[in-house]
Structure 1
């Protein structure tokens, strides 16, 4: 077991010391903090319905009012204000407790009222916030009202973007009860505990446990931090006395020899740090945070290194958006997307274009997915408009969002990159001076992670603003040819020597219901997006990108189709169809299986173009993707022959003859004595 390693614990702290490095079960004592879900039976109605007796809809959270209407494919979906109401019954046993409402996300501006009195406002739909309601509630029944608006405004991000701004309380809500002295829930929606990895190597690690406190007195208070290994065994415990004077923060430091490192997918090992506030030796507050010890770097010529070893970062961008649900996703929805990423074989993900659900960050920690996480500072892409105006209120909002992004996700080892913007333009107010301020703020908040951006301009723009760069490129979709991506990468690498570069988006639209026999280039803004062109796009792009390790990240656009009301293309208006998976997650397109064959070593075989069932040409090619070295093709029970896979884990039989009517296509192979096969039926007209 890993906890039996020879681990030497040296404990440094500011005030008072108590150390215990003996491995033993953790004592799960009552921690004084209660977190109660507050998601059921909310009354919902639009804010313009003020007359008495208005009919209200009962909804459960998470909820958005746009989920169904955006499926109509019209750009003028309901960006307005709505009301959520609920009853909170305050128990007599809660006397002397502090009460906080914790919102994981309300899009995009939320005003909270208790018994018709305002208690707080939050601007920003994708980050959490907590509001203390202790002095606003009474014993017994209390009315909680939340007015939420997703209306367009120039002082709240995003100003633009190729995705829907779903209105509503679209993430869970909870009620937090604490003692009068507690670990603060009010530090930009964060846990209040920051695990700062001061120095990490395979030989040793130094971790600063920095805790924000909210104290009403300082009588006999102390703070205990406990480090547990992956088996929940205590590795170290330290206790610091809280001196008089109501300090609002406290630092404790742990030095660890021979740490078990968090090593991405290969070994996503997690420690846990439990922080307890004690009064007279009794626990009055407690919370736990994940600790994944790792170190990383990016070399402009060699790429990304995790714990001193090269790691090829590849994966996809992801939107929190599912057909008929919008952004009001459950944990099961997030779990499903993680399973798709794991099946794909991704090592990384770009969480676009805003902070994602807390649950998804936890999934990435546990599954070893390296993350680029960003704020919704988004330009218009290929459309008109701007993502930035030089306005003091907007800039304050952007800085608030960046602080919230960093502080709320500070302890997630999966996060290695903070994204500052996506596809801003230079023909409106120049955002560059402000972006430099943002970069400085990110470094002040978190000196250890790297900053990046995603541009769709040339190599002479935005190159001196962040640690790293990303470019969104679509050769063979919005112009150009597939083959140009390799030359672009080489030319850009040469144009910005010393600057690590990535391809932050690349993709093409594709419908699993539209097909061609042979490649026919579609119009990007047209309605005909055949699956075959999307597949060819990805085959050629990956062939070029895989040869260039200096690209520190390679991010497909996008994991799954998503809603974008401004789009009028593909099978249906209002959808960006560049996903490897359909909007409802029910169909994995051919390109998904191409990447699975190249990224996931598990044995598999898959017949491409299987959904192109109605054929007009008797002579055709049969293409399969496989991780197994060779496979045999059979047509209508006749063995056609054996092929070996090429460098893209692809096998192609040319000039295969089909018969009139139905044709049974079968491919067979073996892996370690186990037979693998795939089949489909093609009909020759």
Structure 2
């Protein structure tokens, strides 16, 4: 069902994707921003003489997308800002259609948004993650006829108030393990349409498991404020090679806003799959007395099934779902990711070999869904009912509305197979009452609503055992080797979970790793972790204090341990025939208010890549299991110094998907190893070598038939011991135009680097330069834990002179002139 909603007396139309509009432009430039509240919207538009005391507060020039929390989400010294902020600009409007409509289409804004034309409020929306549209036509006409219009010279003032202020009657909960960002952090589009236009066109495409016949049903919803009664609809359907396979024209008598169009079939359709994401296209033209509106969109044919206590089937064949998760978050921008940033990230996910993604924990940019369709990545998408309990009617209404919006807005995407109703709803805290029966009842209501809106897909939740009987597919908590137990218990825990519910999927597993930190003995710290006690994460396990021994609290947070954990999980997943699949948490490090004491403060560091998309070593572990393009990667590209006793045997290991690999050290071959995924670690591609003090050049040549791939690293081996930290050694390197990088080493009195040091280091600066900090990365934070006794930060010199200071508790401060 497609509908509009009446919210607070203002009509908010659910759907009008800009890509489907007749004429659309993105409003990215010429914005001003104020990160605080105003007394009223009049303060944003009132005439004030330049330089007058009344001109305060001062507005900042910005471009969209823009997030309040681009920096403070990972600022180690403050809580991130939660409150209102204002945006303003002026619009130059030129609607080409007689009696046409002028619309603002929001791809998402956080979290409560009010829209004004001059001082008239024209729209309101609660919910930071769904799309919505405001028709500003009438308000614009009224303004242009007013006396105030003269000083704008034909342009129209637009003001927008966003707020991410804490509110327990709004989802998601502030107890969630991610920042609830504020701002116009997705694109805002100015759209012109004829008086009669498309609101949406739903495409229901179904095919049998054998792929013999595809059946398609179209349902169109129209925007028709002037109540046009007659129109003509022209439809083209194109196959993946852009050949027209269906065409018809039909007259329409518009008695209501929704029309069910004639169904059609396609024999032997080309099927959509992760390996071959075949997309059909619908092109629609709506002709009326007001002009011609156009709509285009994609769909695909695929048949899927979650076998009871068994695997996942796609188009009649088993497919092991190999997935990850994504938060809308990035270094330096927070939620304000541009299209180019999103495309780069999604391509990295596909290149890692993923065929599945869970969008945690809210619906995401429309481009993400489009890329999942075109790249071939199956999707679990969910609403942000996350933690805290269950609120009142306002709270429930938002959850219903966001579920409705998610399904109606993303209905056509063949990539989507699962609608998520909630996450960790067994986690109390926002309300004095935590009533499991009421949560169960509301979850049941959402489940019914989801199936009413879309009978072709499955529902799901993660980690709420008292609601697992409701949904079609359930994901319990299994964090073997991190929050509970050891990773060698993964298989046992998974088999128990598969047997406990009809349809199982494993969402969320993994380990935090501080990028650049490596360990010679990564398993030592977890030997005291108890086994046989389960592997589920429990409330509070994420904390770095208290509770039983666990890797998350007592481990070394090295990339080395994370790779071992991932390696073990992946090799086990290959040999569980009834496993539907899993999704690693998470693809990219992201900001969270709940983790101030992490090595990078306020960052969840379980990512396969850093917050700036720099791959960690774990990225290549996944590639070695999931990709078919030949690859080979020697572990330790960011490990410049290894250490141990003189002549001690050390492992050198390689992640590769090739059947065999040969290792060369300082030009000498150390033999060929055969790959065997069940030979842990590194699928048998590992060599034990006695190492002596000095430098090493290591190369691997991996072979897949006649194809070969190679990789090389260099490192030094240190056998001399170090004593307690005594000094900081600073050096600078030129990083780019007007930019330098300062590298710091924590050393003993003899200047030997303390390679096991994990102390926090703080950077400061005086002078013209600025630290490139608040990035949420190991090399982009002014407070961060050392990696193997070292750290670095970059500085923008601003064509002047500066002094950078470094502080580690217990040793003298150090300074360097720039």
C-alpha distance in structure 2 between counterparts of 1:516 and 1:169, whole Å: 42
Q: Contact (CA 8 Å) 2:514, 2:605: kept in 1 or not?
A: yes
C-alpha distance in structure 1 between counterparts of 2:426 and 2:75, whole Å: 30
The corresponding residue for 1:22 is none
Three-state SS of the structure 2 residue aligned to 1:682 is strand
C-alpha distance in structure 2 between counterparts of 1:335 and 1:95, whole Å: 37
C-alpha distance in structure 2 between counterparts of 1:653 and 1:251, whole Å: 61
Matches within 5 A, 1:278-357: 278-279=287-288, 284-357=292-365
C-alpha distance in structure 1 between counterparts of 2:103 and 2:577, whole Å: 48
The corresponding residue for 2:674 is 644
Three-state SS of the structure 2 residue aligned to 1:119 is strand
Task: State the structure with bigger RCO (CA 8 A, min sep 6), 1 or 2.
Answer: 1
Matches within 5 A, 1:424-573: 424-425=425-426, 428-430=434-436, 431-455=439-463, 461-496=466-501, 499-519=502-522, 520-521=524-525, 523-525=551-553, 528-573=556-601
C-alpha distance in structure 1 between counterparts of 2:21 and 2:605, whole Å: 49
The corresponding residue for 1:26 is none
Three-state SS of the structure 2 residue aligned to 1:166 is coil
C-alpha distance in structure 2 between counterparts of 1:198 and 1:654, whole Å: 51
C-alpha distance in structure 2 between counterparts of 1:32 and 1:373, whole Å: 25
Gap change, CA 1:277 and 1:93, over 3 Å in 2: closer
Gap change, CA 1:126 and 1:415, over 3 Å in 2: same
**Normalised by the size of structure 2, how large is the TM-score?**
0.75
The corresponding residue for 1:631 is 661
Q: Contact (CA 8 Å) 2:212, 2:269: kept in 1 or not?
A: no
Three-state SS of the structure 2 residue aligned to 1:396 is helix
Q: Contact (CA 8 Å) 2:168, 2:391: kept in 1 or not?
A: no
The corresponding residue for 1:130 is 133
C-alpha distance in structure 2 between counterparts of 1:655 and 1:95, whole Å: 78
The corresponding residue for 1:603 is 630
Three-state SS of the structure 2 residue aligned to 1:551 is coil
The corresponding residue for 2:265 is 256
Matches within 5 A, 1:332-411: 332-379=340-387, 386=388, 388-411=389-412
C-alpha distance in structure 1 between counterparts of 2:503 and 2:63, whole Å: 45
Gap change, CA 1:518 and 1:63, over 3 Å in 2: same
- How many angstroms does 1:392 deviate by? 0.6
C-alpha distance in structure 1 between counterparts of 2:21 and 2:692, whole Å: 74
Pick from 172, 195, 215 the counterpart of residue 180 of structure 1. 195
Gap change, CA 1:613 and 1:464, over 3 Å in 2: same
Gap change, CA 1:400 and 1:518, over 3 Å in 2: same
Gap change, CA 1:682 and 1:398, over 3 Å in 2: same
C-alpha distance in structure 2 between counterparts of 1:57 and 1:32, whole Å: 31
Three-state SS of the structure 2 residue aligned to 1:516 is coil
- 1:247 equivalent to 2:256? Answer yes
The corresponding residue for 2:691 is 658
Gap change, CA 1:120 and 1:426, over 3 Å in 2: same
* Residue deviations 1:183-215 (CA, integer Å, cap 9, x gap): 23xxxxxxx111123555512122111001233
C-alpha distance in structure 2 between counterparts of 1:393 and 1:217, whole Å: 32
Q: Contact (CA 8 Å) 1:260, 1:293: kept in 2 or not?
A: yes
Q: Contact (CA 8 Å) 2:630, 2:708: kept in 1 or not?
A: no
- How many angstroms does 1:660 deviate by? 1.3
Three-state SS of the structure 2 residue aligned to 1:540 is helix
Which region of structure 1 is more displaced relative to structure 2, 575-584 or 213-222? 213-222
Structure 2 residues without counterparts, runs of 5 or longer: 1-19, 44-53, 145-153, 429-433, 527-550, 719-818
The corresponding residue for 2:779 is none
C-alpha distance in structure 2 between counterparts of 1:541 and 1:670, whole Å: 25
**Normalised by the size of structure 1, how large is the TM-score?**
0.89
C-alpha distance in structure 1 between counterparts of 2:554 and 2:594, whole Å: 14
Q: Contact (CA 8 Å) 2:420, 2:461: kept in 1 or not?
A: yes
- How many angstroms does 1:432 deviate by? 0.9
C-alpha distance in structure 2 between counterparts of 1:145 and 1:241, whole Å: 41
Q: Contact (CA 8 Å) 1:156, 1:397: kept in 2 or not?
A: yes
C-alpha distance in structure 1 between counterparts of 2:707 and 2:659, whole Å: 14
Gap change, CA 1:633 and 1:98, over 3 Å in 2: same
C-alpha distance in structure 1 between counterparts of 2:266 and 2:35, whole Å: 58
Gap change, CA 1:512 and 1:414, over 3 Å in 2: same
- How many angstroms does 1:274 deviate by? 1.5
Q: Contact (CA 8 Å) 2:205, 2:299: kept in 1 or not?
A: no
C-alpha distance in structure 1 between counterparts of 2:697 and 2:427, whole Å: 56
Gap change, CA 1:569 and 1:667, over 3 Å in 2: farther
RMSD of equivalent CA atoms: 2.0
Three-state SS of the structure 2 residue aligned to 1:65 is coil
C-alpha distance in structure 1 between counterparts of 2:282 and 2:686, whole Å: 56
Gap change, CA 1:527 and 1:107, over 3 Å in 2: farther
The corresponding residue for 2:761 is none
Gap change, CA 1:537 and 1:146, over 3 Å in 2: same
C-alpha distance in structure 1 between counterparts of 2:233 and 2:297, whole Å: 15
Three-state SS of the structure 1 residue aligned to 2:396 is helix
Structure 1 residues without counterparts, runs of 5 or longer: 1-30, 185-191, 380-385
Three-state SS of the structure 1 residue aligned to 2:404 is helix
Gap change, CA 1:426 and 1:33, over 3 Å in 2: closer
C-alpha distance in structure 2 between counterparts of 1:634 and 1:92, whole Å: 68
* Residue deviations 1:151-180 (CA, integer Å, cap 9, x gap): 111222101310111210000011111111
- How many angstroms does 1:365 deviate by? 0.4
The corresponding residue for 1:105 is 108
Which region of structure 1 is more displaced relative to structure 2, 206-215 or 512-521? 512-521
- How many angstroms does 1:417 deviate by? 0.4
C-alpha distance in structure 1 between counterparts of 2:483 and 2:448, whole Å: 34
The corresponding residue for 1:187 is none
- How many angstroms does 1:664 deviate by? 1.4
The corresponding residue for 2:216 is 207
Gap change, CA 1:443 and 1:507, over 3 Å in 2: same
The corresponding residue for 1:80 is 83
Q: Contact (CA 8 Å) 2:660, 2:704: kept in 1 or not?
A: no
* Residue deviations 1:479-537 (CA, integer Å, cap 9, x gap): 201111111111122233xx110111101011232221122336524794111111111
Gap change, CA 1:93 and 1:337, over 3 Å in 2: closer
Q: Contact (CA 8 Å) 1:422, 1:454: kept in 2 or not?
A: yes
Three-state SS of the structure 2 residue aligned to 1:264 is coil
* Residue deviations 1:50-92 (CA, integer Å, cap 9, x gap): 6731321111111002111122235621001000111112237
Which region of structure 1 is more displaced relative to structure 2, 526-535 or 616-625? 526-535
Q: Contact (CA 8 Å) 1:604, 1:627: kept in 2 or not?
A: yes
Pick from 242, 248, 260 the counterpart of residue 232 of structure 1. 242
Matches within 5 A, 1:88-167: 88-91=91-94, 93=96, 95-138=98-141, 139=144, 140-159=154-173, 160-167=175-182
Q: Contact (CA 8 Å) 2:98, 2:194: kept in 1 or not?
A: no
* Residue deviations 1:444-470 (CA, integer Å, cap 9, x gap): 110111000111x5xx53221111101
- How many angstroms does 1:673 deviate by? 3.8
- How many angstroms does 1:258 deviate by? 2.1
* Residue deviations 1:312-370 (CA, integer Å, cap 9, x gap): 11110111111111010011111111121121111111111110110111011001111
Which region of structure 1 is more displaced relative to structure 2, 41-50 or 503-512? 41-50
Q: Contact (CA 8 Å) 1:560, 1:579: kept in 2 or not?
A: yes
Gap change, CA 1:543 and 1:241, over 3 Å in 2: same
